[in-house]
Structure 1
Amino acid sequence: MLRKLWVSALILFTIALMAPWLTSAMEQPKVPSSGELPDPATSPSLKAVNGMLSLNDWDFARDGTVQLQGDWLVEWETMGDPNPKVTEHSFGTVKVPSSWGNLPEPRSDYGLATYRLRVLLPEEWRTSDQVRPLAIYMPDVATAYTLWIDGQQVLKVGQAGANKEEMVASNVPRTASFAVNRDWLDITIHISNFVQRKGGLWTTPLLGTADQIARYHQTKLIVDNAQAGILIVMAIFHIALFFWNRKEKSPFFFAMLCLAVAVRTLSSSQMTLIYFFPEFSWEWNTKLEYMSVLAASQFTLLYFLQMNARSVVLPRLSAIFIWFGSFYHLFVLVCPASVFTATMNVLMTYLVLISSYVLAIVIRASLQREDGALFNLIGMSVFFICVLNNVLYYNFIIVSIDMTAIGMLAFLILQSLNVTNRFAKAYNVAEETSAKLVQLNQSLDKQVEDRTHKLEHSHRELKQAYEQLSNIHEERRRLFSDISHELGHPVNSIQGYIRGMIDGVVPQGKTEYLHTVYEKTLYLQRIFQDLIALERLESGQIELEKKQIDPSLFIKELVDSYRWDIEESDIAFQYLEGVPRDEYCAEIDPSRIEQVFCNLLFNAKKFTPGGGTITIHTTIVMEKPKTPYMQVTVQDTGAGISERDLPHLFERFYQVRKGDRQGSGLGLAIVKGIVASHGGHVGVQSAMSEGSRFYFAIPVAFASAYRMRR
Structure 2
Amino acid sequence: MRRITFHIMMAMTLITILVLQVVGSLVDGNAAPQVRNGVMDVRGWDFRSQGLVPLNGQWEFNWHELLSPAAATAPRKVTYYAPVPASWNQFQLQEGKRSGAGYATYRLHIMKDDIDSLYGVWLPSIYSSYQLWVNGRLVLNEGTVSEDENTYEPSTRRRMAMFHMPGEQAEIVIQVANYSHQRGGIWQSPYFGLAEQTIRKSKMETVRDSILFGCLLMVGLYHIGLFIERRKDRYTILFGVLCIAMAFRIVTSGDMLLLSWLPMLSWSINTRIEYILMLIAAMTGVGYIRYLFTEDADACLRTYRFLIGGGSLLIGMTVSLPTSVFTSFLSGYQLYIVAVVLYIFAMNFRAIHHHRLGAYIALIGFAVLSVLVLNDILYSHELAPIRDLAPIGLVVCIFLQSLVISLRYSQVLTDLESVSTELIELNASLEQRIQKRTAELVHMNAHLEKNNKELERMEISRRHLFTNISHDLRTPITLIRGYLEVLQDEIVYDKAEQKKYIRLMLNKINSLNHLIGDMFELSKLEAGQVQFSKQEVLLEHFITHLEDNYKLELSGKGLIFACYNETYRDVPPASIVLRVDLDRMTQVFDNLIYNAVKFTPAGGSITIRIHYTAEKETIHIEVTDTGIGVREEDLPFIFDRFYKKDKSRNSSTGGSGIGLAIAKEVIELHSGQIGVESGQGAGTTFHIVLPAYRISSPQR
1:86 CA displacement: 3.1
Partner of 2:386 in structure 1? 400
Provide the rounded CA distance (Å) in 2 between the counterparts of 1:444 and 1:42.
78
Partner of 2:191 in structure 1? 206
Contact 1:356/1:384, CA 8 A, preserved across alignment: no
Q: CA separation of 1:443/1:120 partners in 2, compared to 1, >3 Å: closer, same or farther?
A: farther
1:430 CA displacement: 6.1
Contact 2:40/2:108, CA 8 A, preserved across alignment: yes
State the SS of the aligned residue for 1:90: coil
Partner of 1:693 in structure 2? none
Paired residues in the alignment total 419
**Higher gyration radius (CA):** 1
Provide the rounded CA distance (Å) in 1 between the counterparts of 2:407 and 2:290.
20
1:567-612, Cα deviation, whole Å (9 max, x unpaired): xxxxxxxxxxxxxxxxxxxxxxxxxxxxxxxxxxxxxxxxxxxxxx
2:41 to 46, 49, 54: 54
Provide the rounded CA distance (Å) in 1 between the counterparts of 2:138 and 2:18.
42
Provide the rounded CA distance (Å) in 2 between the counterparts of 1:368 and 1:436.
28
Partner of 2:102 in structure 1? 111
Partner of 2:344 in structure 1? 358
Partner of 2:686 in structure 1? none
Matched, 1:285 2:273: no
Provide the rounded CA distance (Å) in 1 between the counterparts of 2:389 and 2:431.
61
The letter for the 1-side match of 2:247 is: A
Partner of 2:219 in structure 1? 234
Contact 1:111/1:163, CA 8 A, preserved across alignment: no
Partner of 2:86 in structure 1? 98
Contact 1:142/1:171, CA 8 A, preserved across alignment: yes
1:305-336, Cα deviation, whole Å (9 max, x unpaired): 11112223331111111011101111110111
The letter for the 1-side match of 2:100 is: D
Provide the rounded CA distance (Å) in 1 between the counterparts of 2:274 and 2:46.
38
Provide the rounded CA distance (Å) in 1 between the counterparts of 2:33 and 2:362.
43
1:656-682, Cα deviation, whole Å (9 max, x unpaired): xxxxxxxxxxxxxxxxxxxxxxxxxxx
The letter for the 2-side match of 1:77 is: H
Contact 1:196/1:341, CA 8 A, preserved across alignment: yes
Provide the rounded CA distance (Å) in 1 between the counterparts of 2:136 and 2:222.
53
Provide the rounded CA distance (Å) in 2 between the counterparts of 1:42 and 1:153.
27
Matched, 1:385 2:376: no
State the SS of the aligned residue for 2:170: strand
Q: CA separation of 1:246/1:43 partners in 2, compared to 1, >3 Å: closer, same or farther?
A: closer
Provide the rounded CA distance (Å) in 2 between the counterparts of 1:18 and 1:226.
17
State the SS of the aligned residue for 1:73: strand
Provide the rounded CA distance (Å) in 1 between the counterparts of 2:18 and 2:233.
39
In the alignment, structure 2 segments of 5+ residues that lack a partner are 437-700
Matched, 1:326 2:315: no
State the SS of the aligned residue for 2:69: coil
Alignment of 1:160-309 (within 5 A): 160-309=145-294
Q: CA separation of 1:434/1:165 partners in 2, compared to 1, >3 Å: closer, same or farther?
A: closer
The letter for the 1-side match of 2:208 is: V
Q: CA separation of 1:88/1:356 partners in 2, compared to 1, >3 Å: closer, same or farther?
A: farther
1:59 CA displacement: 0.7
Q: CA separation of 1:18/1:234 partners in 2, compared to 1, >3 Å: closer, same or farther?
A: closer
State the SS of the aligned residue for 1:267: coil
Matched, 1:156 2:141: yes
Contact 1:235/1:256, CA 8 A, preserved across alignment: yes
Contact 1:18/1:385, CA 8 A, preserved across alignment: no
Q: CA separation of 1:319/1:17 partners in 2, compared to 1, >3 Å: closer, same or farther?
A: farther
Provide the rounded CA distance (Å) in 2 between the counterparts of 1:49 and 1:214.
27
1:442 CA displacement: 10
Provide the rounded CA distance (Å) in 2 between the counterparts of 1:241 and 1:413.
16
The letter for the 1-side match of 2:281 is: A
The letter for the 1-side match of 2:351 is: A
State the SS of the aligned residue for 2:44: coil
Partner of 2:452 in structure 1? none
1:163 CA displacement: 2.1
1:99 CA displacement: 0.5
Partner of 1:338 in structure 2? 324
Provide the rounded CA distance (Å) in 2 between the counterparts of 1:258 and 1:190.
38
Contact 2:32/2:53, CA 8 A, preserved across alignment: no
1:63 to 50, 67, 74: 50
Partner of 2:567 in structure 1? none
State the SS of the aligned residue for 1:321: helix
In the alignment, structure 1 segments of 5+ residues that lack a partner are 1-5, 30-40, 450-710
Q: CA separation of 1:42/1:279 partners in 2, compared to 1, >3 Å: closer, same or farther?
A: closer
Contact 2:43/2:111, CA 8 A, preserved across alignment: yes
Provide the rounded CA distance (Å) in 2 between the counterparts of 1:214 and 1:72.
24
1:386-426, Cα deviation, whole Å (9 max, x unpaired): 22122111111112222332222111211222233334445
Contact 1:114/1:190, CA 8 A, preserved across alignment: yes
The letter for the 2-side match of 1:70 is: G
1:251 CA displacement: 1.0
Contact 1:242/1:249, CA 8 A, preserved across alignment: yes
Provide the rounded CA distance (Å) in 1 between the counterparts of 2:429 and 2:106.
85
Provide the rounded CA distance (Å) in 2 between the counterparts of 1:320 and 1:363.
20
Q: Which moved more, 1:238-247 or 1:78-87?
A: 78-87
Q: Which moved more, 1:330-339 or 1:415-424?
A: 415-424
State the SS of the aligned residue for 1:352: helix
Contact 2:376/2:388, CA 8 A, preserved across alignment: yes
Q: CA separation of 1:189/1:373 partners in 2, compared to 1, >3 Å: closer, same or farther?
A: same
State the SS of the aligned residue for 1:108: coil
1:269 CA displacement: 1.5
The letter for the 1-side match of 2:41 is: S
1:441-493, Cα deviation, whole Å (9 max, x unpaired): 698359789xxxxxxxxxxxxxxxxxxxxxxxxxxxxxxxxxxxxxxxxxxxx
Provide the rounded CA distance (Å) in 1 between the counterparts of 2:262 and 2:170.
33
Provide the rounded CA distance (Å) in 1 between the counterparts of 2:194 and 2:318.
41
**Identical amino acids, percent of aligned pairs:** 27
State the SS of the aligned residue for 1:163: coil
The letter for the 1-side match of 2:109 is: R
Contact 1:115/1:189, CA 8 A, preserved across alignment: yes
State the SS of the aligned residue for 2:40: strand
1:311 to 296, 305, 313: 296
Partner of 2:59 in structure 1? 72
TM-score with structure 1 setting the length = 0.55
1:142 CA displacement: 0.7
Q: CA separation of 1:195/1:355 partners in 2, compared to 1, >3 Å: closer, same or farther?
A: same
Provide the rounded CA distance (Å) in 2 between the counterparts of 1:293 and 1:20.
22
1:231 CA displacement: 1.1
Provide the rounded CA distance (Å) in 1 between the counterparts of 2:60 and 2:226.
57
The letter for the 2-side match of 1:74 is: F
Partner of 2:468 in structure 1? none
Contact 1:73/1:88, CA 8 A, preserved across alignment: no
C-alpha RMSD of matched pairs (Å): 3.3
Q: CA separation of 1:389/1:371 partners in 2, compared to 1, >3 Å: closer, same or farther?
A: same
Q: CA separation of 1:43/1:364 partners in 2, compared to 1, >3 Å: closer, same or farther?
A: closer
1:224-245, Cα deviation, whole Å (9 max, x unpaired): 1111111111111111111112
1:43 CA displacement: 7.6
1:279 CA displacement: 2.6
TM-score with structure 2 setting the length = 0.56
Alignment of 1:463-502 (within 5 A): none
State the SS of the aligned residue for 1:208: strand
